């Protein structure tokens, strides 16, 4: 793996975090909104941090944290939907993206466990587009 920016899991997690912020822009429940934002941002951040650690064991650990944050986010999305803070379409979009991110992270974890995840070369970071 070259950089976290090239990982589909990171790309989708970043998009999910941005979409989460945009979808809850008008929510006045600041405590729940803050928790949702923290969980959403935690996903791509932990993927990135794991890659940057340059250790398969640490990468796997941070992927586990990111996957946990995806589950936390799904729970918070359900609460936001039930409290009518999210429109149905926004909930469905965020829910599906969170499921997909979780699946991609699970695939990365399985690749590490099977030993098929290539090591990240040093000094290969890219500027985000």
We find that the CATH architecture of domain 4-114 is Up-down Bundle (1.20)
CA distance 45 to 42: 5
pLDDT at position 124 over 50:
no
Dihedral angle computed from the Cα positions of residues 40, 41, 44 and 46, in that order, rounded to the nearest 10 degrees: -110
- Domain spans of the chain, in order of start: 4-114
Residue 128's CB is within 10 A of a number of other CB atoms, namely: 7
The closest alpha carbon to 27, from 84, 66, 105, 95, belongs to 84
Q: What's the pLDDT score for residue 19?
A: 97
pLDDT at position 84 over 50:
yes
State the average pLDDT for the chain: 91
Are the C-beta atoms of 124 and 3 separated by less than 8 Å? yes
Are the C-beta atoms of 129 and 13 separated by less than 8 Å? no
């Amino acid at each position: 793996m070259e950089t976290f920016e090239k990982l589909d899991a990171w790309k989708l997690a970043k998009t999910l975090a941005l979409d989460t912020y945009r979808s809850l822009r008008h929510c006045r429940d600041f405590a729940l909104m803050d928790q949702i934002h923290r969980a959403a941002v935690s996903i791509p951040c932990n993927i990135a941090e794991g890659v940057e650690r340059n250790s398969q064991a640490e990468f796997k650990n941070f992927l586990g944290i990111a996957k946990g944050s995806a589950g936390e986010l799904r729970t918070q999305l359900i609460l936001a939907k039930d409290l009518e803070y999210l429109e149905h379409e926004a909930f469905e979009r965020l829910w599906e993206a969170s499921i997909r991110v979780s699946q991609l992270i699970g695939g990365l974890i399985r690749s590490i466990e099977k030993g098929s995840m290539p090591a990240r070369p040093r000094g290969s970071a890219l500027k985000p587009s």
